[in-house]
């Protein structure tokens, strides 16, 4: 192995990949840019997915009285009101 202790300690990056050694630097740039654009799209998609998951829940709790409304399917917050107990319309995801 030709890795020094220092090389092992740091986080490996894509440019460390042996395949990049075959590309001259001027050809690596567009590849890296394309990969970075792809990563941005993936990050964006993951972000969308997370926000989608956050707003849909099986159980919603009334902020006013704590009553928990249960659903058989994942539902967005808009369908939770009104509260069966106090008529409140403010709910938060519960569990």
The residues of the shown chain that bind Zn ion, judged by CB under 5 A, are 62, 64-65, 67, 83, 85-86, 88
**Is the CB of 20 or the CB of 67 nearer to Zn ion?**
67
**Whole-number minimum distance, CB 34 to Zn ion, in Å?**
52
**Whole-number minimum distance, CB 94 to Zn ion, in Å?**
12
Nearest alpha carbon to residue 76 among 54, 61, 95? 54
Whether omega before 55 lies within 30 degrees of 0, making that bond cis, reads no
**Is the CB of 15 or the CB of 92 nearer to Zn ion?**
92
**Is the CB of 75 or the CB of 83 nearer to Zn ion?**
83
**Whole-number minimum distance, CB 59 to Zn ion, in Å?**
14
Can you read off the two tokens belonging to residue 72? 């058989």
3-state helix, strand, coil in the chain (%, to 5): 50, 20, 30
**Is the CB of 29 or the CB of 85 nearer to Zn ion?**
85
DSSP state of 83: P
């Amino acid at each position: 192995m030709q890795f020094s202790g220092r090389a092992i300690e740091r986080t490996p990056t894509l440019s460390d990949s042996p395949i990049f050694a075959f590309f001259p630097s001027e050809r690596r740039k567009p590849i890296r840019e394309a990969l970075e654009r792809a990563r941005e799209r993936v990050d964006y998609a993951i972000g969308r997915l997370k926000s989608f998951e956050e707003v849909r829940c099986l159980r919603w709790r009334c902020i006013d009285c704590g009553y928990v409304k249960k659903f058989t399917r994942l539902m967005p917050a808009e369908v939770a009101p009104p509260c069966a107990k106090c008529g409140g319309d403010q709910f938060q995801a519960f569990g």
